[in-house]
Amino acid sequence: MSTETLSTPLADEKYHGLTAEQIEQLGTELDALRQRVLADLGEADAAYLRKVVTTQRKMEIAGRALFYLPVVGWLPAVACLSVSKILDNMEIGHNVMHGQYDFLGDPAFNSRMFDWDTVCPGEQWKYSHNYIHHTFTNIVGKDRDVGYGILRMDPDQKWHPYYLGNPLYAFLLMTFFEWGVALHDLEVENIVSGKRKLSDNKPLYPGLIRKIRRQAVKDYVLFPALTGPLFPLTFAGNAVANLVRNVWAFNIIFCGHFPAGVASFSEEETANETRGHWYLRQMLGSANIKGGKLMHLMSGNLSHQIEHHLFPDLPARRYPELAVEVQEICERYGLPYNTGRLHQQLWSVFKKICRYSLPGGDAKVAPVRGPGTVTEDSLAA
C-alpha cells in the first residue's frame, strides 16, 4: 500500500460505518454512564483508595526494614519494595494525578499537590499525559505517547533506517522506563525535528533535577547508608525494585494502545471532532487486558485502558463495573472491544515493535469483530 492512500481520511471505515447521528447517540449514552458514576461517588471510593495507600505504605516500610536482614531478607525486601512502587505509581499516583479523587477535598489526594515515587515530576507528567495524551489519543503526530518519540509503532510514522533498532530501543525504554517518562517531557524528538527550541525546555530543568536528586538520594544514598555495612546489598535491592517497577509499568502501558487492532488517527481525520467522535476515538484507540482482581490492582486498573480513556477522571476502581456496560455498548454499535490476556496483548505488541522496525506497514484498521474476542493481527494482511 502506498503512503498516499495511508493519509487519506478513512472516516467511514475507521468509524465502522457509524453515521454522525449514531456517533452522537453513542456520546450521549457514554455521558449518561459517566453521570451515573459521578452521582454515586462517595465513601466507598475514599475507603478503597485509603486501603490501597495503607497497603502501599506497609509494603514500603516492610521492604525498607527487610533490608536489615542479610541473605534471607533481601529477596522479600525487593518484592515488597517493588509492589510498593508499583502501587504507588499505578493505582495511586497515576489515578490521583488524573484528578480522580479531587472530589474528596483531601490535599493528600489532590491532583494539584500529589507527586509519585518515580523520577518524573508529577507536575510535568500531568501536562504530557493528562492533557496531550488523553486529549489527542492515538493521533499520529500529536499524541507523543505513540512510540514515545523513540519507537516507530504506527505505519503513519515515516520509516527511517534509525528504526531498525526498534526492538533494542523498546528494550532500553522498558529497562529505564521511569527515566524515559521523565525525559519524555523534554520532547527531544521535537527538538531534533526543529519543532521545539532547546530553550523551551529551560523552565523544566529545575523541577526535573530536583525530583531526580531527591529520588536518587533516597534510594541510592540514604536508605542504603542506613543499613550500614549492608550498603551494597540495599543499594542493589533498591535498584532492582525500581527495575521491576519499570518493566511492569512499561508492559502494562504498552498493552494499552499498541496491540494489534488498535486504531490510530491522523490530524485531518480528527479536526472538528464532536464529543461523540472523541469518545469513539478513545474506544478504538485503546486496548484492555483480561485478568483477575490482582491484575487490575497492580496495573492501576489500566487493564481497563478503554474505560480509563473514556472516563479518565472517574476513580479507577469503577472501571470493572463500567467495562460491563461499555462492552455491551460496543456490541450494540458493532464496535470492536479490544481485549486479551496479558501474554496475548504482549505478544501482539512485541510483533508490532519488530514489524515497524522495517519500512511500510498496513494502515488499515481491523475489520469489525464480535466483542470480547481477541483481535487478530491485521498486519499480516
In one-letter notation, the amino acid at residue 309 is H
> Given the complex with other proteins, which of 131 and 205 has the nearer CB atom?
131
Give yes or no for residue 111 binding other proteins (CB under 8 A). yes
Give yes or no for residue 152 binding other proteins (CB under 8 A). no
Give yes or no for residue 45 binding other proteins (CB under 8 A). yes
Q: Which stretch binds other proteins (CB under 8 A): 65-73, 74-82, 97-105, 354-362?
A: 97-105
What is the smallest separation between the CB atom of 304 and other proteins, expressed in angstroms? 16
Give yes or no for residue 247 binding other proteins (CB under 8 A). no
- One residue of 36, 51, 214, 341 binding other proteins per CB under 8 A: 214
> Given the complex with other proteins, which of 112 and 332 has the nearer CB atom?
112
Give yes or no for residue 36 binding other proteins (CB under 8 A). no
Give yes or no for residue 19 binding other proteins (CB under 8 A). no
Give yes or no for residue 28 binding other proteins (CB under 8 A). no
Q: What is the rounded CA–CA span in Å between residue 31 and residue 36?
A: 9
Number of other residues whose CB lies within 10 A of the CB of residue 283: 24
Give yes or no for residue 290 binding other proteins (CB under 8 A). no
Of 366, 373, 331, nearest to 261 (Cα)?
366
Give yes or no for residue 75 binding other proteins (CB under 8 A). no
- One residue of 68, 131, 162, 205 binding other proteins per CB under 8 A: 131
Give yes or no for residue 125 binding other proteins (CB under 8 A). no
Q: Which stretch binds other proteins (CB under 8 A): 68-76, 155-163, 218-226, 344-352?
A: 218-226
What is the smallest separation between the CB atom of 234 and other proteins, expressed in angstroms? 13
Contacts with other proteins by CB under 8 A lie at 31, 35, 38, 42-43, 45-47, 53-54, 57, 61, 98-99, 102-106, 108, 110-112, 115-117, 122, 126-127, 130-131, 134-135, 211, 214-215, 217-218, 222-223, 275, 278, 312-313
